[in-house]
A and B are shown apart, each in its own frame.
Chain A
């Protein structure tokens, strides 16, 4: 900008050029920035609500939280109606070295937003509101009570958020919430006995205070914006007319703000403190809940994994197991479960313990010897868990992991339907042909 604006004819285009020197930047630089910001902005606004069942590495899914017997009390219910999900899980003894120990774990429900609310949650029969430390090798059962909030058809899983490790999904189920969104109500009783509506509590109060300050802020902005702004003020400033830019009235208003705003803030603060004298800080604590008496590896049936081979062309895992039946009845292997896939032995009719659609290979489990293991007998069994699910559930990636060990649960049944569960773990050897 070299022209002095004085002696030249003033054209529109020049009007836009005059302040370039003074003015923050040409319009194009700003537009570029706006475009960039808006595009990043739109990306971050996208709700991150993906399921992520298969996201974690196979060894993490197989050797951390081992879910079973997950059951929904019902799969079709109304808005405002309660539904319960119960289930059990074993925390693998062979917890992967690369995954932080489960010192803070949060039993969660995967939902697309709060289409349900969680009203109660129990671990081993004890209510828990925060996170909990889990013990490797421990057995737990859980119960979560939920209440329908938004009608719809949803696939929902219980899962664990593990600190610094990620989300380990339990089996999912389709839930249908019917009825009318407007019927939803959620009242909570405070310690004073007051019933509050969680859907609206504090909303109008919050809007009031935001409006109050917005009003003052807008008044201040309008006070300045009503005058000629950038070009005029820039010229006056350059001309040394600084004193005319801030009038005595402006300075008085400034004083009023300097004194008035802090005083108002303190007055409103004091009023609120007196209105809610029992206010407490946000609560946080780790709930202390010990494991149940052993359910898995309870000592009746003992299993040792001798060798695990994964045959890539056949997509099958061959497990060589040394099994000792310490019960007083013959037992058979009915199921092998790993990483949320269940391989069933069709010759052993298993009482159905679950109404979730866990991923099932109905005939995926076969044995080299089908005769039941007699009481007191010790036998080495060759178990084959074969199905394309190894691939579709992305569990076969195991052989490419740094930690290529498998973990899972074996379910034994005796003729009376009694169930014994053992966990297995072993390094996996790939067979390429």
Chain B
């Protein structure tokens, strides 16, 4: 069919055809919106989980490592579909925007209204700056390899600094119970979570612990490396999902 078309002069749709094509655009967009709000947010909640829910879990080691790594999955898959078929460089931004919407809904309704946590204790993190850059890299490079390496790394490296304006102020020290704590730790102590004892937080464990002050950048670079691989993996998952081959056999 493509050979057929390209041999002739390309005629864009006009009138009724264009109108229907546009309606189809909106239908797909709305479906995609709901799909990504639900699925990406669920995926995120199940993988990043508590490290993204609670202000006192957003540490400088695990959080900056795992959040971009899990956050790049859907963007890579959706980019694979939207870029290869339509040259639309908005997959990452679309996914992350949906994730933000889903996360905010969950924080307001599930955490704040049903379970009474103050919203500032469960503020979501943002991946939007990372996603914008990822989309731009794909558009400029038109290359899976370049986007995986440079886009994937930028996605991970930008995460921690772009969230510090939101969460930095929760790291101001407080003196409580003869010890030094952050404001974030105070949230964890004061606002009772029955299933969430303090010892569950993985903070400063393992070899990264010895790097002290550079723990966060180190985590970010580690995450950048893995995000590169994760990007490529999910790009192929996206391509696989976008084929009709398997459906036709059913």
Q: Are A129 and B177 in contact (CB under 8 A)?
A: yes
- Interchain CA distance A121-B189 in the complex, whole Å: 9
Interface check A347, CB cutoff 8 A:
no
Which residues of B lie under 8 Å from residue A198 when comparing CB positions? 118, 120, 183, 186-187, 190
Q: How far is the CB of A103 from chain B (nearest CB, A)?
A: 9
Interface check B230, CB cutoff 8 A:
no
Q: Are B174 and A191 in contact (CB under 8 A)?
A: yes
Which residues of B lie under 8 Å from residue A118 when comparing CB positions? 189-190, 192
| Contact string against A for B residues 15-53, beta-carbon threshold 8 Å, 1 for contact and 0 otherwise | 011101110110011010011001101100110000000
Interface check A329, CB cutoff 8 A:
no
Q: Which residue on chain B has the smallest CB distance to residue A232?
A: B21
Q: How far is the CB of B121 from chain A (nearest CB, A)?
A: 8
Q: Are B168 and A254 in contact (CB under 8 A)?
A: no
Interface check B170, CB cutoff 8 A:
yes
- Interchain CA distance A83-B135 in the complex, whole Å: 54
- Interface residue tally on A, bucketed by range: 35 or more
Number of interface residues of B (CB under 8 A): 116
Q: How far is the CB of A415 from chain B (nearest CB, A)?
A: 42
Interface check B210, CB cutoff 8 A:
no
Which residues of A lie under 8 Å from residue B247 when comparing CB positions? 25-26, 29
Interface positions of B from 61 to 118, Cβ below 8 Å from A? 81, 85-90, 93-94, 96-97, 100, 104, 106, 109-110, 114-118
- Interchain CA distance A245-B177 in the complex, whole Å: 62
- Interchain CA distance A236-B119 in the complex, whole Å: 46
Which residues of B lie under 8 Å from residue A232 when comparing CB positions? 12-13, 18, 21
Q: Could you say which of B5, B46, B94, B161 contacts A235, with CB atoms under 8 Å apart?
A: B5
Interface check A395, CB cutoff 8 A:
no
Interface check B131, CB cutoff 8 A:
yes
Q: Could you say which of B18, B162, B199 contacts A106, with CB atoms under 8 Å apart?
A: B199
Q: Could you say which of A23, A246, A273 contacts B168, with CB atoms under 8 Å apart?
A: A273
Which residues of B lie under 8 Å from residue A41 when comparing CB positions? 38, 41-42
Interface check A186, CB cutoff 8 A:
yes
Spell out A's residues near B (CB within 8 Å). 1, 4, 6, 10, 12, 15-16, 19-27, 29-31, 33-34, 37-38, 40-41, 44-45, 47-49, 104-106, 108-121, 126-131, 149-150, 159, 161, 163, 167, 186, 188-192, 194, 196, 198-203, 205-206, 209-210, 213-214, 216-218, 220-221, 224-225, 228-242, 245-246, 250-251, 254-255, 257-258, 261-262, 264-266, 268-269, 271-273, 275-276, 278-286
Could you list some 17 contacts between A and B, CB below 8 A? Answer: A37-B39, A44-B46, A106-B197, A118-B192, A163-B197, A190-B174, A190-B183, A198-B186, A198-B190, A210-B100, A213-B162, A216-B132, A228-B12, A230-B85, A239-B6, A241-B10, A261-B136
